[in-house]
């Protein structure tokens, strides 16, 4: 991924969604050649020269200060995720190629695996920024049974979402799930644009899925720490589960996600059914071993 292209397309996409009226600028009428704000208008709002902003939007963030980044973020009305993404892009631009470390394959520590196994009433798993599931407890594997129904490991939730037709039944709000999936990958690309495995994954998905390609071009990013996810499980039915996604401070790049159901809800009843199903012996074909956790 070309970091200069990332900067250019991200900033252009953000100013393209804001009208002069929304920004509090006078509209002089006539036909505008660009959607949203012009570069000069962003520069005016940020308090910098048009030439300097044009240089930045062309992808040259070398030497840019935090104060200028903050001013641009305010001018473009960036949310927390977008602001963090802009800072990630600037950090990459200001990092010497000699100081960029080779990526280290993340390993899930035994202590984290023990924690997952101890969470018997909550589906839980550990993933990396590419959405590879690196460790999962029994109930988590049961929840994502369609994704684990295959030999490929690690399971990748982005591939499942866009390349496995069963995902459209598994996620009742498939469009929302797809938007979130791409936004998480785009956020990770800003943090580590030199991750070859991520680049390969994005290239594969863009080649094989029109739905992915359109969403990737939107340059949307997202922080995904808490909320509610909706599932239509093939065995127990509808599950509306609250989730907490917690970065592991001792393991940079890894996130532990755990789900829970509201007490007394239909989802709580179905989650108990899922636990019973997960605890029952599952038939294994001759040519496939049960997926390990």
Q: What is the CATH number of the domain that holds 227?
A: 3.30.450.180
Q: What is the DSSP letter of 98?
A: G
Where is 198: in which H helix or E strand? helix 196-208
- The reply to whether 91 and 132 lie within a common domain is no
Do 179 and 164 meet the contact criterion of CB atoms below 8 Å apart?
no
Tell me the β-bridge partners of 82. Answer: none
Number of folded domains in the chain? Answer: 2
In whole angstroms, what is the distance from residue 164 CA to residue 147 CA? 8
- The reply to whether 48 and 177 lie within a common domain is no
Residue 291 covered by a domain:
no
- The reply to whether 181 and 242 lie within a common domain is yes
Q: What is the pLDDT of residues 19-52, one digit of tens each?
A: 888 888 876 556 677 778 999 999 999 999 999 9
- The reply to whether 162 and 239 lie within a common domain is yes
Range of the domain at 126: 110-279
Tally Cβ neighbours within 10 Å of residue 13: 17
Task: For residue 141, give the nearest of 242, 279, 285 by alpha carbon.
Answer: 279
Residue 285 covered by a domain:
no
- The reply to whether 95 and 114 lie within a common domain is no
Where is 229: in which H helix or E strand? strand 226-233
Tell me the β-bridge partners of 238. Answer: 232
Residue 90 covered by a domain:
yes
- The reply to whether 120 and 165 lie within a common domain is yes
Question: Where does a domain end: 51, 75, 99?
Answer: 99
For the cut 80, the answer to whether the pLDDT of residue 176 exceeds it is yes
∠ CA(88), CA(247), CA(221), 5° rounding? 40
Do 219 and 186 meet the contact criterion of CB atoms below 8 Å apart?
yes
Write down the residue that tokens 């962003």 correspond to.
42
Q: What is the pLDDT of residues 232-259, one digit of tens each?
A: 999 999 999 999 999 999 999 999 999 9
């Amino acid at each position: 991924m070309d970091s200069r292209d990332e900067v250019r397309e991200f900033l252009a996409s953000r100013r393209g969604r804001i009208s002069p009226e929304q920004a509090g600028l006078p509209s002089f009428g006539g036909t505008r050649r660009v959607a949203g704000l012009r570069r000069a208008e962003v520069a005016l709002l940020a308090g910098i020269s048009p030439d300097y902003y044009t240089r930045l939007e062309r992808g040259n963030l070398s030497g840019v200060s935090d104060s200028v980044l903050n001013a641009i973020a305010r001018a473009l009305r960036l949310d927390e995720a977008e602001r963090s993404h802009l800072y990630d892009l600037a950090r990459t631009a200001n990092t010497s190629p000699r100081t960029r470390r080779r990526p280290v394959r993340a390993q899930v520590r035994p202590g984290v695996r023990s924690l997952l196994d101890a969470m018997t009433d909550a589906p839980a798993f550990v993933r990396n920024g590419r959405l590879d599931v690196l460790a999962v407890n029994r109930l988590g594997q049961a929840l994502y049974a369609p994704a684990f129904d295959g030999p490929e490991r690690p399971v990748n939730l982005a591939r499942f979402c866009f390349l496995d037709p069963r995902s459209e039944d598994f996620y009742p709000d498939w469009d929302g799930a797809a938007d979130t999936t791409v936004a998480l990958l785009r956020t990770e690309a800003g943090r580590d644009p030199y991750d070859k495995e991520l680049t390969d994954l994005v290239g594969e998905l863009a080649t094989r899925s029109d739905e992915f390609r359109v969403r990737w071009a939107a340059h949307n990013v997202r922080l995904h720490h808490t909320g509610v996810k909706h599932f239509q499980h093939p065995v127990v039915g509808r599950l509306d589960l609250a989730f907490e996604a917690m970065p592991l401070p001792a393991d940079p790049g890894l996130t532990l996600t755990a789900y829970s159901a509201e007490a007394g809800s239909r989802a709580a009843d179905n989650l108990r059914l899922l636990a019973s199903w997960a605890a029952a012996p599952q038939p294994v074909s001759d040519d496939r071993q049960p997926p390990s956790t």
